[in-house]
Amino acid sequence: MIEWVSLSNGARPVPQPVATPKIWAATFGGALLLVAVLNTLVGPGRPGIALIALSLLSILLGRCAHFAAAPGTAMLCWLFLNGFSIPPAGTISWAGHRDALWLTCLLAAALMGTVTARLVNARAAYRRVSTKSHCTKTELGESTDRFRPS
């Protein structure tokens, strides 16, 4: 026997991504705070540590963002990395391969966070929608429940 189950009882919608301007505002504030803390604790001459920390921030913010927010997130993180983690502080410069690599790392981190969030949300939504009671046909044409209550 097939049992009809209402999807409105307990089915939760997939979370909507946060608006891009809010993500960029969080990136601005988070990158500023992160670089300030790292410069205080580690020192301004350690851009590798700052790149790792800003990449983790990009992944975290990418988990709740649209795909369109990733380039802006990467660019804001790069601006703080380039402007305040490399002496002299407060000047932005372009050093060819190094800055292109940093931008690529930050963009990949933001996209990785967004893709991970989409896959996790899609898998969770699929599991919520699938039913727990499946009916199968035997060779005799009878229907039997796979999951029988005990």
CA 18 – CA 10 distance, rounded (Å): 23
pLDDT in tens, 106-128: 999 999 999 999 999 888 877 77
Instruction: Please give the share of the chain, as a percent, with pLDDT higher than 70.
Output: 77
pLDDT score at 139: 47
**Neighbour tally for 51: CB within 10 Å:** 19
Global model pTM greater than 0.85: no
pLDDT in tens, 58-82: 999 999 999 999 999 999 999 999 9
* More confident position, 120 or 144: 120
Of the pLDDT bands very low, low, confident and very high (cuts 50, 70, 90), residue 29 is very high
Report the SS3 class of residue 44: coil
Beta-carbon contacts of residue 79 (< 8 Å; ≥ 6 apart): 31, 92
